C-alpha cells in the first residue's frame, strides 16, 4: 500500500502507528535483558571485567554485519525483515536463563543481537522514509518517549516483584521476551505492507559527501560501548548494586526520558542538529571525566548515580544525528546507508569492549578517560556540521568544494 493511501486507514493501522507499536515492543525484551544482565552474569556465571567485555564484543558482531541487510532486502521487504528480527530478539531473550555458562550466554546473546541489530537497522530506515522531514525531529522524540514508557512498565514490575515474590531470572526473561515476540507477530499480521514513494537502492553504497555522517557514526559506536558495558557494570562491581537497585536507576532514566524526549525533538527542530550535537558531546566529555574521578578521587555512589542519569539523557540527543542524515541524503539512499552506517557504528564496538575489559582490570579510570577523549573527538566533528544541512551542503567545507570549479 502506498504511503499516500495509508491516511485512509483507521488510525491504529497507519504507518506511524506501526512505528509506535514497534517502539513499544522492542524495549520490553531488550531493556529487561540489559537491566538483569550485569547481576545475572556476576551471580550466575561469575563474570569478571574481561568476561563482560568479551560478551559485549560478541554482542556487537551482528551490528558490524548489519550491512548484510542490503542483501536481505533484495528478497524480503524491509517491514517484514524488521518484524521477523523483532521476533528473533524476543524468543532469544526468553530463553537467556536456560544457558547459565560463558559459552551458553555468548551463544544466546549472539542470536538476540542478530534480532536487535537487524531490527534497529531497518527501523531507522523506515522512520526516515515514512516521517516527513519537517515533523521528523518531533516524531522521533515521541517514538523515543514511547519506548521509554514501555521500558518503564517493565522496570516498575521488576522493582515491585523481584524481592516481594522472589522471582527468578528465568521467569522474567521468559515473560519479557515472550511479550515482545507476541507483539511482533501481531504487527506482522495486522498491518498492510507500506510502500514508500522513493524506491531504495538495494546495493552497497559509500558516498564521499556523507563522510562526516560516517565519522560521527564511528565515534558514536566506540563511545557508546563504554557507557553500555562499563557504566552499569561499575554500579554492580564497585558499589554492590542489587537487581532492584540497578533497575531503580534505570527507572529514573526512563521517567526523565519520557518527559524530555519530546522536548529533545523540539530542541533539535529549533536549534538545529549542529548546536544539539555540540551540546551533547560537550556534556559527555564532562560526564566521562567525572566517571574517572570516581576512581581517581574516591567520589561516592550518589555522584555515580547522578552521572549515570545525566549520561543517559545526553545520549537521547543522538536523534539529531538521524535527522542530520535525513536532511543531506538522497531519498533512495536511506535504506542502504542505514545498513552501512550501522556497520560503521559497530567497527570499534566489536573489538573495543574486550580490549577495554582487559584495561578495566588494570585501571577503570583509564577506560573513562579514553571515553572522554572519544567524546571530545565527536565534539570536533560536530563543529563541522553546517547550520542548515541539505544535499550539497553536508559540511561547513561544502561551500569551498562547490566554489572550486568556478574559479
Where exactly are the structural domains of the chain?
A: 3-190, 208-395
Average pLDDT over residues 180-193: 92
Please give the backbone phi and psi of residue 194, each rounded to the nearest 5 degrees, phi first: -90, 140
Grid coordinates in use for 62? 551482528
pLDDT at 403: 46
- The C-alpha torsion from 72 through 76 and 80 to 86, rounded to 10°, is -20
Residue 151 pLDDT > 60, yes or no? yes
Local confidence band at 49 (pLDDT 50, 70, 90 cut-offs) = low
Residue 379 pLDDT > 90, yes or no? yes
Which residue from 207, 216, 206, 227 is spatially nearest to 320, judged by alpha carbons? 216
Q: What is the third-level CATH fold of 3-190?
A: Growth Hormone; Chain: A; (1.20.1250)
Winning range, highest mean pLDDT, from 25-34, 152-161, 203-212, 306-315: 25-34
d(CA 23, CA 144): 7
Please give the backbone phi and psi of residue 393, each rounded to the nearest 5 degrees, phi first: -135, 60
CB 151 within 8 A of CB 114: no
Beta bridge partners of residue 390, listed in sequence order: 393
Local confidence band at 202 (pLDDT 50, 70, 90 cut-offs) = low
d(CA 63, CA 114): 7
321-376 confidence digits (pLDDT tens):
988 988 998 888 877 877 788 788 778 767 677 788 788 888 888 888 988 999 99
Grid coordinates in use for 202? 538495494
Helix (H, G, I), strand (E, B) or coil at 191: coil
65-90 confidence digits (pLDDT tens):
777 777 787 788 888 999 999 999 99
d(CA 328, CA 213): 9
Residue 201 pLDDT > 70, yes or no? no
Instruction: Say whether pTM exceeds 0.85.
Output: no
What's the distance, CA 157 to chain centroid? 23
Q: Domain 208-395 sits in which CATH superfamily?
A: MFS general substrate transporter like domains (1.20.1250.20)
Cβ-Cβ contacts under 8 Å for 405 (sequence gap 6 or more) = none
E strands present in 288-376: none
Amino acid at each position: 500500500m502506498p504511503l499516500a493511501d495509508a491516511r485512509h486507514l483507521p488510525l491504529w493501522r497507519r504507518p506511524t502507528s506501526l512505528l509506535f507499536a514497534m517502539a513499544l515492543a522492542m524495549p520490553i525484551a531488550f531493556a529487561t535483558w540489559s537491566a538483569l544482565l550485569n547481576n545475572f552474569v556476576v551471580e550466575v556465571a561469575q563474570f569478571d571485567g574481561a568476561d563482560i567485555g568479551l560478551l559485549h564484543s560478541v554482542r556487537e558482531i551482528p551490528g558490524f554485519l548489519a550491512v548484510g541487510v542490503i542483501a536481505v532486502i533484495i528478497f524480503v521487504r524491509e517491514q517484514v525483515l524488521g518484524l521477523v528480527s523483532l521476533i528473533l530478539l524476543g524468543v532469544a531473550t526468553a530463553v537467556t536463563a536456560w544457558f547459565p555458562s560463558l559459552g551458553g550466554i555468548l551463544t544466546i546473546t549472539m542470536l538476540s543481537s542478530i534480532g536487535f541489530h537487524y531490527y534497529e537497522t531497518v527501523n531507522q530506515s523506515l522512520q526516515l522514509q515514512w516521517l516527513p522531514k519537517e515533523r521528523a525531529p518531533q516524531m522521533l522524540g515521541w517514538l523515543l518517549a514511547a519506548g521509554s514508557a514501555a521500558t518503564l512498565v517493565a522496570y516498575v514490575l521488576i522493582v515491585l516483584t523481584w524481592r516481594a515474590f522472589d522471582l527468578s531470572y528465568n521467569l522474567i526473561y521468559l515473560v519479557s521476551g515472550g511479550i515482545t515476540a507476541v507483539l511482533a507477530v501481531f504487527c506482522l499480521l495486522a498491518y498492510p505492507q507500506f510502500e514508500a514513494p522513493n524506491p531504495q537502492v538495494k546495493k552497497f553504497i559509500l558516498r564521499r559527501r556523507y563522510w562526516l555522517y560516517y565519522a560521527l557514526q564511528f565515534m558514536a559506536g566506540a563511545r557508546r560501548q563504554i557507557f553500555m558495558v562499563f557504566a552499569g557494570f561499575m554500579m554492580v562491581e564497585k558499589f554492590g548494586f542489587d537487581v532492584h537497585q540497578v533497575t531503580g536507576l534505570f527507572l529514573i532514566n526512563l521517567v526523565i526520558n519520557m518527559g524530555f524526549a519530546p522536548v529533545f525533538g523540539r530542541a533539535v527542530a529549533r536549534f538545529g542538529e549542529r548546536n544539539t550535537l555540540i551540546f551533547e558531546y560537550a556534556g559527555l566529555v564532562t560526564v566521562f571525566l567525572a566517571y574517572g574521578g570516581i576512581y581517581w578521587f574516591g567520589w561516592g555512589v550518589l555522584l555515580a548515580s547522578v552521572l549515570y542519569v545525566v549520561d543517559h539523557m545526553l545520549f537521547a540527543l543522538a536523534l539529531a544525528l538521524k535527522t542530520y542524515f535525513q536532511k543531506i541524503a538522497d531519498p533512495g539512499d536511506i535504506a542502504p546507508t542505514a545498513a552501512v552506517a550501522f556497520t560503521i557504528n559497530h567497527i570499534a564496538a566489536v573489538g573495543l569492549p574486550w580490549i577495554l575489559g582487559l584495561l578495566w582490570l588494570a585501571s577503570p579510570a583509564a577506560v573513562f578517560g579514553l571515553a572522554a577523549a572519544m567524546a571530545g573527538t565527536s565534539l570536533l566533528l560536530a563543529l563541522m556540521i553546517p547550520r542548515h544541512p541539505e544535499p550539497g551542503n553536508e559540511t561547513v567545507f561544502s561551500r569551498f568544494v562547490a566554489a572550486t570549479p568556478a574559479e
